[in-house]
Structure 1
Amino acid sequence: MADDTAGPEMPRAIALAWGTVPSPQRGPKREFSLDQVLDAAVMLADADGIDAVTMPAVAQALGLTAMSLYRYVSSKETLLLLLQETGMGVPPESIGQAKGWRAGLEAYAEASGAVYRRHPWMLDITISGIASTPNNLAWFEAGLAALADTTLSREERVAVVLQVSGHARFRALVERGYADRADEAGEQLSGIVLSEARLLGRLVTEDRFPELHATLGSGALVDARFDNFDFGLARLLDGVAHYIGPTVGSHASPVR
């Protein structure tokens, strides 16, 4: 009779990320460690994007045959999962050292953005659920820990961390898009923004888009002194603070 209490079998890719796959006892000795293979994959991705990371390309970077690489990772899907885990790294201590939940989440958002700036290709990896690899879980833990002394329920803490993570990811996605446009055009980012505003000025009429027309006329879209994303994160956290209320102290509160 089947054991209904048995947990699901751990996929090999996840086991590799956790270091629980034993080294093979037979076969030729490996020339590289798995970490060295992943370092080579990260270098390819940093240079030419996620599409450049193929099994033959990584093998060539290491001086291996494509078939030899399968002794380290069994598929491209496994390679990409481990690549994302390597690129994510561990969360910085600044998150846990921050004073108060708000400062902790601000540090969390800043650190998340820094990861995407270092490795823009990570924005091209599809999110299909909560990643079950150690570094990804360490980031999730850091976000939840920032909220540990609040009265938010466990479900509410998860929701807040996901919102802050999503904000950081969207910011990085937009910033990368503008940066890529500027590079392709050989212009400064400010020039791209100004050209965009001028084009909109030709297309947006007051009768059809009255609010957008007024916004363009005010210069709001080209005001470099105002950071839309900093403002958005601040208002998001204001909303959380208002929801929590004034009863939060420095000591842990019971979890609802």
Structure 2
Amino acid sequence: MDEEIGAALPSGVAISWGLVKPSQRGPKRELSIQQIVQAAIAIADKEGISAVSMGRVAASLGFTTMSLYRYIPSKDDLLLLMQDAVCDVPIPVEEAGADWRESMREYVQVTIQLLRAHAWFGDIPVSGVPMTPNHLRFVDWALRTTRVLPLNDYEKMSVVLLLSSYARSCGILMRDMDRAIQAGSTPGAFSGLDYSAALKQLVSPEQFPNLYPVIMSGVYTEENAEQSPVGNDFDFGLERILDGIERYVASKKKADNGE
């Protein structure tokens, strides 16, 4: 039965579920799929996803490139297994009576942190729905945050997609900020704060009627970020998403009550 299921799945997915056994051909097996995946992650974390190749990973382990193919058929399979491996993070214990908004906040925050900790993760294009075990644990966790809401399965998955999309967008943006700082950019240059005075001279109300007041207030370049009444941009956006979900849930309850 396992072989039949494995044959119906993409090879990388089948490997992640332990449905494919490494080839027995060639020299005595001295590697493991986990060793190969962890070596690839170490390279990607340090040098980026472009540095990962079957040859580079094999060399880092002291083996030939062909020896890796007995465990993992292709680089695409390796990338899939790398993503699944870093999704193996502790899922918070579910607490009775937990506020669903706080649970969703925690899910988004952990997802953002994962994307920042493994900067290469967001460089791999999305190729389909999550199907590997650790990635599906993330989906299961996200669905858990919707359990107390009066939503059908379609609505729950739509909420998960909304939260995941926002987390991915924010995570990649924060990752790019991290990269810019690491490359030598200053926080002020990245936010535009270093150029605030110049922008106030260049941006006129005639040419930029909507942007001009925002520039002059200092909000555009975060001149008064510490005085912001809404917190940071990412938290503000997330809270508005949660407000929308809450309002939608309230409207469903009214409809169910015939109001």
TM-score of the two chains, using structure 2 as the length reference:
0.85
Secondary structure of the residue aligned to 2:210 is helix
Aligned twin of 1:189: 187
Q: Report the Cα distance in structure 1 between the residues aligned to 2:79 and 2:156, rounded to whole angstroms.
A: 29
| 1:179 aligns to 2:184 (yes or no) | no
Aligned twin of 1:140: 139
Change (3 A) 1:206 1:53: same
| 1:235 aligns to 2:234 (yes or no) | no
Deviation at 1:157, TM superposition (A): 1.0
* 8 Å Cα contact 1:117/1:172 also seen in 2: yes
Report 1:30-179 matches (<5 A): 30-90=29-89, 92-93=91-92, 96-97=94-95, 99-179=98-178
Q: Report the Cα distance in structure 1 between the residues aligned to 2:161 and 2:249, rounded to whole angstroms.
A: 17
Structure 1 spans left out of the alignment, 5+ residues: 1-5
Which amino acid is 2:247 matched to? H
RMSD value, Cα: 2.4
* 8 Å Cα contact 1:112/1:169 also seen in 2: yes
Q: Report the Cα distance in structure 2 between the residues aligned to 1:174 and 1:239, rounded to whole angstroms.
A: 23
Q: Which digits, 9 at most, give the CA deviation of each residue in 1:124-165, with x for residues without a partner?
A: 011122121011111111111110111012111111111111
Change (3 A) 1:199 1:10: farther
Q: Which digits, 9 at most, give the CA deviation of each residue in 1:3-48, with x for residues without a partner?
A: xxx9981222111011111344454222121101111000000001
Deviation at 1:244, TM superposition (A): 0.6
* 8 Å Cα contact 1:91/1:139 also seen in 2: no
Change (3 A) 1:246 1:131: closer
Secondary structure of the residue aligned to 2:20 is coil
Change (3 A) 1:170 1:110: same
Which amino acid is 1:28 matched to? P
Q: Report the Cα distance in structure 1 between the residues aligned to 2:125 and 2:110, rounded to whole angstroms.
A: 20
Aligned twin of 1:244: 249
* 8 Å Cα contact 1:13/1:82 also seen in 2: yes
Deviation at 1:90, TM superposition (A): 3.7
Deviation at 1:224, TM superposition (A): 2.8
Which amino acid is 1:190 matched to? G
* 8 Å Cα contact 2:17/2:132 also seen in 1: yes
* 8 Å Cα contact 1:179/1:189 also seen in 2: no
Range 154-163 or range 20-29, more displaced? 20-29
* 8 Å Cα contact 2:23/2:70 also seen in 1: no
* 8 Å Cα contact 2:116/2:174 also seen in 1: no
Q: Report the Cα distance in structure 1 between the residues aligned to 2:102 and 2:57, rounded to whole angstroms.
A: 40
Which amino acid is 1:236 matched to? I
Give the length in aligned residue pairs.
Answer: 242
* 8 Å Cα contact 2:143/2:156 also seen in 1: yes
TM-score of the two chains, using structure 1 as the length reference:
0.86
Counting aligned pairs with the same residue, the percent is 37
* 8 Å Cα contact 2:6/2:19 also seen in 1: no
Q: Report the Cα distance in structure 2 between the residues aligned to 1:116 and 1:195, rounded to whole angstroms.
A: 28
* 8 Å Cα contact 2:91/2:141 also seen in 1: no
Q: Report the Cα distance in structure 2 between the residues aligned to 1:200 and 1:16, rounded to whole angstroms.
A: 54
Q: Report the Cα distance in structure 2 between the residues aligned to 1:224 and 1:119, rounded to whole angstroms.
A: 28
